[in-house]
Amino acid sequence: MASSLLTRQLTISLQQNLRLTTTVCRYVSKTATKTESEFEYDSPSMKTQVPGPRSQELLRQLGDIQNVGAVHFFCNYEESRGNYLVDVDGNRMLDVYTQISSIPIGYNHPALMKVMTNPNNLSAFVNRPALGILPPENFPEKLIESLLSVAPSGMTRVQTMACGSCSNENAFKAMFIWYKNKERGHNNPSEEDIGSCMINQSPGCPDLSILSFMGGFHGRTLGCLATTHSKPIHKLDIPSFDWPIAPFPRLQYPLEEFVRENAQEEARCLEEVEDLIIKWRQKGKPVAGIVIEPIQAEGGDNHASPDFFIKLRNIAQKHGCAFHVDEVQTGCGATGKFWAHEHWGLDDPADVVSFSKKMLTGGFFHKNELQADKPYRIFNTWMGDPSKNLLLAEVLNVIRREDLLAEVARSGKALLQGLYALQAQYPHILSSARGQGTFCAIDAHKSTVRDSIMLKARNKGAFLGSCGEKAIRFRPSLIFKEYHAHQVLNILNDVLAEHK
């Protein structure tokens, strides 16, 4: 049995290699030039179908401990390098999904390895402090060196958190506290406020709401989940809040060709936003804040124009709602600017900006006014993890030193051009190529086709993510170069050429 499995795998592996070497005519790619990074591999190398036999064995083991329905395969992170993820069966894939968009500068980057081997840093990894009460000596300095050095426009304050959900939950809390103090005209709660909040009742626990958008994703804890509307599987059976949900523009791509139609669609959505704010105020559940992603990621890589966001920001201001830009997925450079909302060209784009994933630590920036008035209101045991700040500081050094935002703009352009070419060539399969920087996506004409393309691409050495109903999302790390864009485009081209 074991030997026949081996034989089958060997056959598959040989077929694979054959297919990879006898590539069909390549429409979308310039000749690939080798990457400059010294530490990484130069191409995918596939030995088995994925998941291979070792992954399947581990899947069975882990299945006794956890639900493994979402596990793709098991990884050998020690052997992974740069843009290439190596699995436990020795398959080396170009990683265009990067741990759900959370690896900033590839695997085992030498600069990060150096942080780990610096004896001065060890203490930060073994003595995790309760940052809110007993911060380490270098904490202000490290915040200035890391997070504050990339603070979005107008933001002088930052609170770290352990993950994206906690970042958004606490950002929501900051907005509720700010709104309620504004409504009171002072920050001295009444006896009734204090008494009623202990039993979850108004006025102490007020009927305030956060306005979110259909298709949005802001996390899966109960507060966040009330603003997440991308897929039923996230929300089913979980109690929620009666908070307003506005339509997010459903734009037609390429944006340049549908300017009038898209402007109409955006106007419709903005009108609905204002209606909802008024309606929820009348219902006695006023909107304390509006939360939105610059590009709806999990929901399907849905874009909107800078004009839409500018007008939305003005609506928030007009109605006294805080404006929260969730950059958990879009932040840290993948769109070609450090923060995706910088593409809007607004001086005052947001009151709160939350982050996580490629930033390695969660947290949120905010304006002075959004600072909670008293201690222990925005608080938990760890309040983040300074060891992640250490790594982030080095990631930011690498981004600056290697000018990775310019790299992202270059490779993103190559990627998007390639996707345009692919959809022109396979219009019955692909449509709506879109993107900013390397933060790109393309739709398949239905979800089963999307899934099949992704599996085939994986077996040819390109690991991709999906989002929304039928989109493929591209989420490479910031060291993804034009060369890598051509690699993934070639693989997709091969898959599509074979597609029946």
| Catalytic positions, written as ranges | 217, 326, 357, 381
Q: How far is the CB of 71 from its own copies (least distance, A)?
A: 6
- CA dist., res. 365 & res. 353, Å (int): 5
Q: How far is the CB of 422 from its own copies (least distance, A)?
A: 25
Closer residue to its own copies (CB): 89 or 443:
89
What is the bridge-based pairing of β-strands 287-292 and 209-213? parallel
* Contact between 293 and 271 (Cβ < 8 Å): no
* Contact between 249 and 304 (Cβ < 8 Å): yes
Contacts of 131 (CB under 8 A, 6+ apart): 139, 160, 382, 383, 384, 386
Q: How far is the CB of 67 from its own copies (least distance, A)?
A: 6
Q: How many CA atoms lie within 13 A of 359 on its CB side?
A: 33
Closer residue to its own copies (CB): 102 or 262:
102
Helix axes 404-425, 386-401, angle to 10 degrees: 80
- CA dist., res. 131 & res. 380, Å (int): 9
Contacts of 482 (CB under 8 A, 6+ apart): 30, 33, 410, 411, 414
Q: Which of 414, 423, 415, 434 is nearest to 262 (CA)?
A: 434
Q: How far is the CB of 205 from its own copies (least distance, A)?
A: 4
Contacts of 418 (CB under 8 A, 6+ apart): 28, 29, 485, 486, 489
- CA dist., res. 431 & res. 433, Å (int): 6
Closer residue to its own copies (CB): 74 or 339:
74
Within its chain, how far is the Cα of 72 from the centroid? Answer: 19
Q: How far is the CB of 231 from its own copies (least distance, A)?
A: 8
Closer residue to its own copies (CB): 219 or 294:
219
Closer residue to its own copies (CB): 64 or 256:
64
Q: How many CA atoms lie within 13 A of 446 on its CB side?
A: 1
Closer residue to its own copies (CB): 206 or 336:
206
Q: How far is the CB of 362 from its own copies (least distance, A)?
A: 8
